[in-house]
Amino acid sequence: MITNGDKRRDRDADTVRWVVLGGLAGYLGIALLILTVSLANIREDERALAENARVIEVVATEFAFEPKPIELERGETVRLVVENRGRVPHEFRLTTQADIDEHLAHDHVEEEHVDGPGLIYLEVGETKELLWTSRGRGADVNRAVCLLPGHYELGMVVDVVGLDDDIAGDVDRDRE
């Protein structure tokens, strides 16, 4: 038997549910607003960074990159404008010799040709940009490479060296 007391309890439970849901929706709304504003700020910061960044023009051909080496100052943000002047697709990948060795050890595992942090894939005739901030010695990249099968072996690798420390010396040593 349903009593009036039961009905009231149901109504009360409904009210509580709606208040909780409303509260959650409110919180979500505010969180979304904060996220949107933060993302807009990040985009604004990136735009400012890109505008002030030193431009380094890089040309990819078969099978080399110019210039050689790519020189960065510690903490410097550069805009790498990479043009594929070759007759086949290439990639431009900022990485370390250790990662290259690792990649080669796995016999050129076929990867999807998608751009990512420090990586752009270039069709013939394509020019793309990469914004990069050098973090300095130890945690940073020391090579720019194309890891499409066979390209590294044919010479598509350049040193990425620091202008203000002795990364260059280390790179020269470990390539010998």
- Is residue 95 a contact partner of residue 118, using CB atoms and an 8 Å limit? yes
Interface residue with Cu ion among 72, 80, 146, 158 (CB under 5 A) is: 146
Specify the DSSP class assigned to residue 31. H
Nearer to Cu ion, 146 or 171 (CB): 146
Tally Cβ neighbours within 10 Å of residue 89.
Answer: 17
CA–CA separation, 169 vs 151, rounded Å? 25
- Residue 94 pairs in a beta bridge with 144
Q: Is 148 in the site for Cu ion (CB under 5 A)?
A: yes
Nearer to Cu ion, 84 or 134 (CB): 84
> According to CB under 5 A, which residues from 71 to 130 bind Cu ion?
90
Positive or negative, the CA dihedral 29, 35, 41, 46 is: negative
Convert residues 25-44 into a mask of x (bound to Cu ion by CB under 5 A) and - (unbound): --------------------
Q: Is 158 in the site for Cu ion (CB under 5 A)?
A: no
Q: Is 151 in the site for Cu ion (CB under 5 A)?
A: yes
Nearer to Cu ion, 60 or 167 (CB): 60
Query: What are the start-end ranges of the E strands in the chain?
Result: 54-61, 64-66, 70-72, 77-84, 90-95, 119-122, 127-133, 143-145, 157-162
Find the shortest distance in angstroms from Cβ 113 to Cu ion: 11
Q: Is 143 in the site for Cu ion (CB under 5 A)?
A: no
Stretch that binds Cu ion, among 4-12, 51-59, 138-146, 167-175 (CB under 5 A): 138-146
- Token reading at 87: 């007759």
Find the shortest distance in angstroms from Cβ 50 to Cu ion: 25
Residue ranges in contact with Cu ion by CB under 5 A: 90, 146, 148, 151, 156
